[in-house]
Amino acid sequence: MDDRLIPINGLIALLRGEGGWPGLLRDQGFERHQFEVPVSTPLGNIGVDALVYRCEPDLVLLSECKSGKNIEDEQARKYVAVDEGWLRRSGAVPPRLKSSSSLTVQTMFVGREEHRASLEASLRHLDIAAPLLTVGSDRVRLSDASATRGLDDFDEAHGGGLPPGRFAVDHQSADEHLLDVLIPQVIAAQALQEDIVLVESICERILPEWQVLSHSGRSSFVSRVGNLLRGVAAGEMRGQFRYEGLKQPHTRGRIVIDVSPAKRDPRGRTQAWQAQQKRAAAALRRRAARERAGQLSLDELADEGGLADE
């Protein structure tokens, strides 16, 4: 899991009560609505990391998830400027609350437990009074929630370790992290002898929260994955599959499987899969090393060999 995404995955774990994590937000009645939600504010547009809500009392929490130690001034002020009117203008009110006459909208900042002191100091420096949720491998804390009706503070130890990776990656993750989850999906498609796989289908398999990811969030992720698949098809897995861009509505592209060890003689199939996995892993390690050294661009992939003969 990309370390940047620990806060949002911790938030989801508290909403779902899974992976050894206590369902502390679920127990208060909160549910997921959407992730990466575009919202208009009087100070400019934002993409809300997570929009969660509860009923009776009717409350929407705009959750800003921070993996670092600081809270950005401009972004934070945009969040706290959102009220019911701006949320309705953005079309972001959950269906169950659209007819509510007593809807409260509140910003909640979400970060890592080890950064709590710095995040608290940032909020004080910005003179922003808002709930702060911090998540860690053995402790979760929500503070300054008492002024928000329907939201209660908590401080609880747990034995769940890091949260389950419902978002193991996102469209801003490094190529290395994305390829770690993307290449196994390609190999799985080969194993199943699938001839054509839509990029959206691969994205949905990678992200368990796909169904509650906003349209704009899906679009960004599909675009990033499509670019990576295009590069891998021209480089490390050239000859194994090809990427085809499509201009049909709601469709960004697809991969067409050309070669699969599953179609080989059964006597050599196991060895073929083992060779495929070893070569893919080695190619990705080489790529990651070169990326860290600043020596590789996507355009260079077409010049590299790799798995064409396997």
**286-292 LR contacts (CB < 8 Å, sep 24+):** 287/175, 287/176, 287/179, 287/236, 288/175, 288/176, 288/179, 291/174, 291/175, 291/176
- pLDDT of residue 32 exceeding 60, the answer is yes
- pLDDT of residue 10 exceeding 80, the answer is yes
Per-residue model confidence (pLDDT) at position 305: 31
In tens, the pLDDT along 266-280 reads 554 555 555 665 656
Band of pLDDT at residue 297, cut at 50, 70 and 90: very low
- pLDDT of residue 29 exceeding 80, the answer is yes
Distances (CA, A) of 147 to 108, 129, 131, 153, 201: 12, 9, 9, 10, 43
Considering only CA atoms, which of 199, 274, 284, 281 is closest in space to residue 242?
199
In tens, the pLDDT along 157-195 reads 999 999 999 999 999 998 888 988 888 888 888 888 888
